[in-house]
């Protein structure tokens, strides 16, 4: 949770019309940010809290290549090069699915600003798969896996 200066218009504007998307290759969560006021130490404070609006599990992202290319008797006879290509194709398709989900979230929520967290290893590749109009709305990327981060701590990573 973020407890900004209650008179700071800057903090209010940061989260207004914003969506936070945290994802890894196995899961995506999208949030809007709600604003409410609370008394803290005898002072009225504005509090911003992430509210989950979408959650997607990518089953293929959880599987290992050997789970996909083996049968009861063992390997199908794939060479190391073929397995490498299969693995690259699986990762590309998985990133494509994640990019499509982000497009769907943006179409649904119609935010003016997007805050995105995705692991560094594939962050640039994912960004390149997003349409230009969505990339233009991304005001901050955090190259980390924040999917398991408690909702109450998410805003701190984008502060």
Tell me which H or E stretch contains 76.
none
**Domains of the chain with CATH codes:** 9-158 (3.30.420.60)
What's the pTM?
0.77
The 10s digit of each residue's pLDDT in 107-119 is 999 999 999 999 9
The 10s digit of each residue's pLDDT in 3-18 is 343 444 455 578 989 9
Tell me the chain's radius of gyration from C-alpha atoms: 19
- State the pLDDT at residue 83: 63
Report helix angle 80-109 to 120-129, nearest 10.
60
109 φ, ψ (degrees, to nearest 5): -85, -25
């Amino acid at each position: 949770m973020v407890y900004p200066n209650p008179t700071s218009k800057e903090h209010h504007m940061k989260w207004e019309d914003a969506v936070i998307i945290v994802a890894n290759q196995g899961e995506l969560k999208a949030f809007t940010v709600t604003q409410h006021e609370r008394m803290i130490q005898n002072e009225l404070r504005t509090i911003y809290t992430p509210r989950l609006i979408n959650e997607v599990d990518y089953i293929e992202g959880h599987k290992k290549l050997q789970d996909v290319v083996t049968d009861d008797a063992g390997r199908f006879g794939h060479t190391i090069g073929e397995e490498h290509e299969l693995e690259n194709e699986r990762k590309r398709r998985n990133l494509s699915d994640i990019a499509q989900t982000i497009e769907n979230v943006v179409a649904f929520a119609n935010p003016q600003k997007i805050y995105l967290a995705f692991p560094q290893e594939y962050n640039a590749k994912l960004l390149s798969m997003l349409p230009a109009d969505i990339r233009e709305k991304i005001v901050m990327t955090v190259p980390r896996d924040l999917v398991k981060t408690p909702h109450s701590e998410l805003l701190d990573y984008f502060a």
